[in-house]
Structure 1
Amino acid sequence: MLRVVSTLRPLLRSPLLPGPKPLPRPRRPPRPFRALSSAAPLAASPPSAPSPAPGAVEFREEHLVRCAAARRAPLRVAVLLSGGVDSSVALRLLHAAGHSCTAFYLKIWFQEDFRNFWSECPWDDDLKYAQAVCDKIDVPLEVVHLSDEYWNHVVSHMINEYRNGRTPNPDVLCNTRIKFGAFLEAIENLGFDYIASGHYAHVVHPPFENAEGPSVLQLSKDEVKDQTYFLSHLSQPQLRRLLFPLGCITKDEVRSLAVQMDLPNQARKDSQGICFLGKVKFSEFVQRHIGEMKGTVDDTSLFYGTI
């Protein structure tokens, strides 16, 4: 049963938009962790197995479970689940590896603010798919309302920057201040060892004998889908708490694995827009909040210092 979590709202509302509150360092060092990037490569199928169809990706789930730290003692993992294929496969891998998983759907939509832009609820399908995936895997799903935090710490900052001629990336801000900021602070005392998501990235954690060493963000196996740029502003206290099970898998392999796992959303298309806008065009959003300014467009392609 879906339970709405209304208590995970720790951030104070502030019109001054200060930077994200520094996350407290864990009271104890992380448990020994086998770096995701050291996972063994995908093993070939045995000789007796039938040949795959042309263009198909053939592999077995037990090989990919290694990407979810299968050789570790069971962990308590909070998994960010969006309803998309990537986060669903990440959840399934961690669950198959024997970890105790709880899925969290972060609701950051502003349907009240954009009621004239759409007639349907923009996050309804996402939540239905997330619930269907959790029902199939048999893990609990919690819904966390963070729309106020998102507005105060991401959207308002972005609008102010656009007014001043700067163009921050909202996904970088969301990862730093919301997904691995406000949410991480909210569950700090709930006993979870790590937070996991469906990002295409690696986090290589220090060995147990050097627990105070840095956790290192590295490129994923899929260089096209790699998302380390959007995670590049994360701090050490944030990185030390993260798992990215898809870091050693390509997008094609994720799609094939979703079919193999028979996930309810296996055929769902990837989202393309900015997460909080849904079907609203970003240009419409900017125009609504900061208006338009007249000016001269220089299309000569000449820039000072380039000749």
Structure 2
Amino acid sequence: MRVVAAMSGGVDSAVAAARMLDAGHDVVGVHLALSQSAATLRESARGCCTIEDAGDARRVADRLGIPFYVWDMAERFKRDVMEDFVAEYQAGRTPNPCLRCNESIKFAALLDKALALGFDAVATGHYAQIVERVSADGEVVRELHRAVDASKDQSYVLGVLDEDQLARAFFPLGDTTKPDIRAEAAERGFSIAKKPDSYDICFIADGDTRGWLTKRLGEQPGEVVDAVTGDVVGSHQGAYGFTIGQRRGLGLDRSSLDGDPRYVVGVEASSNRVLIGTQDLLGVDVLRADHARWCGTAPEGEVRVGAQVRAHGEEVPAFARVHADDPEVVHVRLDSRLRGVAPGQSVVLYDGTRVIGSATIAETSRAGVPA
């Protein structure tokens, strides 16, 4: 196959490209330029897509003897990921930009361009597995499964991929642990074998999400309100800077509170109010989610699933039911309550290690308690 290897400049994508080459594929390395003003150097392990990263990717490609290109997708990334991120926070929701990037950039824009240029598939350094099985009618079906290394598993952020995208995707690292990947990179002579992993939000290099949002949205003073009594107990400079489950930085007038800690239990974008309450108000076990993406055929009726609402969160046993009139809406009833679940987050559904699909949480509630 002719394969585009997405090369970020990190150790994972480097080894993924090398493994695709070892498997006999015709591989071309591509680095995605996603920043409109790429920094020269990374800030420790935060951020990505710097000029340094592009250089690291090119050096690996040269060592492998494969062609290498930089594809400028900064404008698409700004529109589909960064502007979506701002709009979601402004609407009082908590988005996951990694899922949006995988959906809109790596397996839409990148894959579409690769196919248009005559390539057959895209390979990335994500920790997940593609498992092939033969269906009852004799067709080969490709399923998305969790990685062997549970601590690095990234199947959650790949839950937005549909059946057609999975048919043209390769994840060569899914059967290997991270320490073994670093060891393999060193054996191959890659200078980036010990390069630190990037983490947090790639386009917020200093990790200050609230500060980054404030620069784009400006200060929007409002009230912090007790969710039970309705009393004003503090103030803030923008409701967009808060997310459900948050405890620190609430700007409370603690003289009017008892000694129990307070958490954000709601963000009202329309009134620019932040609602706070005690921990017992955080637990939810009923989710309504939309924008469902199925990694195969959508389930029918009520099915038993595992539900995960954070990239490295716990999987909770649950029942899921796709809306009878709209396959993009799914209702999930968790066996036990989870705290700090916010609209805008994604719920990814599993059958064992297999990813069934994902959806964006629109509403949360507690069984027997009005939403």
**Residues 140-155 of structure 1 aligned to structure 2 (within 5 Å):** 140-155=67-82
Q: Deviation at 1:211?
A: 7.2
- Give yes or no for contact 1:103–1:141 (8 Å, CA) kept in 2: yes
1:303 is the counterpart of 2:230: no
Change (3 A) 1:122 1:281: farther
1:159 is the counterpart of 2:86: yes
Amino acid at match of 2:280: L
- Give yes or no for contact 2:36–2:75 (8 Å, CA) kept in 1: no
1:169 is the counterpart of 2:100: no
- Give yes or no for contact 1:222–1:251 (8 Å, CA) kept in 2: yes
2:7 to 61, 81, 84: 81
1:105 to 31, 38, 45: 31
2:183 aligned counterpart, secondary structure:
helix
- Give yes or no for contact 2:33–2:49 (8 Å, CA) kept in 1: no
Greater CA deviation, 149-158 or 130-139? 149-158
Change (3 A) 1:88 1:162: same
Change (3 A) 1:100 1:265: same
Amino acid at match of 2:155: T
| In 2, Cα distance between equivalents of 1:154 and 1:212 | 35
| In 2, Cα distance between equivalents of 1:180 and 1:262 | 29
| In 2, Cα distance between equivalents of 1:206 and 1:192 | 24
| In 2, Cα distance between equivalents of 1:206 and 1:190 | 29
| In 1, Cα distance between equivalents of 2:121 and 2:31 | 16
1:233 is the counterpart of 2:211: no
Change (3 A) 1:193 1:155: same
- Give yes or no for contact 2:13–2:124 (8 Å, CA) kept in 1: yes
**Residues 208-287 of structure 1 aligned to structure 2 (within 5 Å):** 214-279=141-206, 281-287=208-214
Q: What TM-score do you get using the length of structure 2 for normalisation? A: 0.57
- Give yes or no for contact 1:110–1:276 (8 Å, CA) kept in 2: no
Q: Which of these two proteins has the greater Rg computed from alpha carbons?
A: 2
Q: What TM-score do you get using the length of structure 1 for normalisation? A: 0.68
| In 2, Cα distance between equivalents of 1:202 and 1:148 | 30
1:40-91 Cα offsets, whole Å, 9 max, x none, are xxxxxxxxxxxxxxxxxxxxxxxxxxxxxxxxxxx21110000000000111
Choose between structure 1 and 2: higher helix proportion.
Answer: 1
Q: Deviation at 1:171?
A: 0.2
Amino acid at match of 2:11: V
- Which residue of 2 is the match for residue 93 of structure 1? 19
- Give yes or no for contact 2:13–2:125 (8 Å, CA) kept in 1: yes
Amino acid at match of 1:290: L
Percent identity of the aligned residues? 33
Amino acid at match of 1:190: L
Structure with the bigger RCO (C-alpha within 8 Å, sep 6+) is 1
Choose between structure 1 and 2: higher strand proportion.
Answer: 2
- Give yes or no for contact 1:109–1:277 (8 Å, CA) kept in 2: no
Alignment length (residue pairs) = 228
What's the Cα RMSD here?
2.6
- Give yes or no for contact 1:122–1:278 (8 Å, CA) kept in 2: no
Q: Structure 2: 5+ residue runs without aligned partners?
A: 225-249, 251-261, 264-277, 283-365
Q: Deviation at 1:242?
A: 0.2
1:205 aligned counterpart, secondary structure:
strand
**Residues 166-205 of structure 1 aligned to structure 2 (within 5 Å):** 166-205=93-132
| In 1, Cα distance between equivalents of 2:54 and 2:101 | 19
1:262-288 Cα offsets, whole Å, 9 max, x none, are 112112111113223334632321121
Q: Deviation at 1:144?
A: 0.5
